[in-house]
Amino acid sequence: MGVSHRFEMFKFNFEVAESSVEELGPSPLKKIKSDDSEITNSDNDENCIKWYLAEKVIPTEALFNNLDLFELNLKERKVGTLELRHLIAGFLLEDIKTHSDVDSRDIKKSEESHSDLITGVYEGGAKIWECTDDLLLYLSENIDSNYWADKRVLDLGCGAGLLGIYALKSGAKIVDFQDYNKDVLEQITLPNVLLNLEQTTNAEKLKQLKTQTNFYAGDWAHFAELTDKMEKYNIILTSETIYNIENQQKLLDTLKKRLALGGVVLVAAKSHYFGVGGGLEQFIDVVNKDQVFKAKNLWQASENLKRGILELKWQ
C-alpha cells in the first residue's frame, strides 16, 4: 500500500512552506534537557523518567473560537464510504515554534529539537504516521458498518485521532481518545474531532463531545488507574505505539486492564523501528511470553519497510 503524505504547512499569516510526514516511524530518541532533568533513551535512565500523570481533558466552548480558522486549514480524505477531515499537519506547528505558548510546550520542544520522540516529554502525536492509514483502510474494507453500533472504542496513543474519528463516524456508541501529551489533545485531536461532527450548532457539537467522547492525557499506566472504575472497551485501536521496547509491557498491562471480555485490540505497526528497537515481530514475542492475549497477524505489507496489523484477543 505504501501510503505517503505531503501536507502544506501554514503559519497564521498564511505564508506557505512545504513539509512531509516521516514514513519510517518516529526518529531515534535524542538527549534533551527537559526542565532540570536530562532525558535519554538508555535503559539506565528509564527508571528515572518522570512520566506525566494521567488527566481527563474537558472540551469547552473556547474550542469553537478558532473553528473558522480550522475550516480554512483542513484536509479531507475518503476512507471507504466516510469522509474524514483533519487539520493540515503543519497548521499549528510552525506557529508553536515561534511562540512561547505554555499550553504547547511539549510540541514546541519537539519541533525545536527536530525529534519526534523525547522520552517522558513528547511521543510523536503531532504527526500522522503511515500505519494509521493501513489500519483505516483495513477497517473500511473488513469491518461492517453495523459492527460499531453498540461498541465502546478507545483510540490509544491517538495523536491526530483519525482512528477514533473513523469509529465515531461509523456509529460507535462511545469513543475515547488517549494521547501522552495534553497539548496534542487540545490543539490537534479535539479540533479534528470537532471538524467531523455533523451537528448544526456549537451547543449541539459540544453536547456530543461531552456525551459520546472522552479525552485523556498522560502515561498509559496512570491512564489505566484513572479509568479503572469505568466501563471497559469492546475494541481498542492503536497505531505506531510499540516502537519503545521499554514501554511494551506497560502497553500490554494497559490493554489487559481496559479491554472488555470478548473485546479485541488492533495494533498497526512497522516490523522494525530503526534507532529505538521495537517492532511487530518482536512485540508478538512479548505478547506470547505474557500468555494473556493470543496474537494473530491480520495484514502485512512487504514493499519498502514492512508493516502489519495485529489482532489481540483474550486467551
Bridge partners, residue 177, by sequence = 155, 215
pLDDT at res. 38:
28
pLDDT at res. 97:
57
Are 250 and 279 in contact, with CB atoms under 8 Å apart?
no
Are 143 and 129 in contact, with CB atoms under 8 Å apart?
no
Q: Which helix (H) or strand (E) holds 98?
A: helix 93-98
Are 214 and 57 in contact, with CB atoms under 8 Å apart?
no
CA 76 to CA 86: how far, in whole Å? 7
CA 160 to CA 45: how far, in whole Å? 29
Alpha helices, H only, 120-270: 130-142, 162-169, 182-184, 190-195, 202-212, 220-226, 248-258
Structural Rg of the chain based on CA atoms = 18
pTM of the model: 0.79
pLDDT at res. 3:
37
Predicted confidence pLDDT, tens digits, the chain (315 residues): 433 332 232 222 222 233 333 333 443 333 333 333 222 333 344 557 788 999 999 999 999 998 998 898 899 999 999 999 999 876 656 655 555 454 556 555 555 554 455 454 444 546 787 999 999 999 999 999 899 999 999 999 999 999 999 999 999 999 999 999 998 899 899 999 999 999 999 999 999 999 999 999 999 999 999 999 999 999 999 999 999 899 999 999 999 999 999 999 999 999 998 877 899 999 999 999 999 999 999 999 977 678 999 999 999
With b for 16 or more beta-carbon neighbours within 10 A and e for fewer, the 231-243 pattern comes to eebbbbbbbbbbb
For the beta carbon of residue 99, count every other beta carbon within 10 angstroms: 10
SS3 74: strand
- 6-314: CATH topology is Rossmann fold (3.40.50)
- Phi and psi angles of residue 269, each rounded to the nearest 5 degrees, phi first: -160, 170
Domain boundaries, the chain: 6-314
